[in-house]
Structure 1
Amino acid sequence: MSLLSVSESAERLGCQPSTVYRYIEDGVLPAYRIGPKLLRIDPTDLYALIKPARAAA
């Protein structure tokens, strides 16, 4: 399993790392702590955030 850093996750989503940290803090995106500081994100969890936009009626 290849986990992503916060920066890599932000790059894949096209957003800032602060947005990824906010998703983690809000409980929207699970993250795994490795040691006292390192956070890693499972790509499956990351891509689960991506949903189709609702089409205009």
Structure 2
Amino acid sequence: MEERGGNGPSVGFWKDKWCGDSPLSVSFPTLFALAIDKEAWVEDIWDPLAEGGRG
């Protein structure tokens, strides 16, 4: 995980282990290949208040 801005550590959506035992890029290589932003952060993509999220 990297330090991003002054808000503490951020988690890479595709490249960090945040959902399971492997990064999503490893678990879903075909989907990762189609992703436009391979450097995206979880906080930028996943809305915990949206349907299916926890928040």
Same fold by TM-score, threshold 0.5 exceeded? no
Q: TM-score, normalised by structure 1?
A: 0.34
Greater C-alpha radius of gyration: 1
Structure having the higher helix fraction is 1
The structure, 1 or 2, with the larger RCO (C-alpha pairs under 8 Å, 6+ apart) is: 1
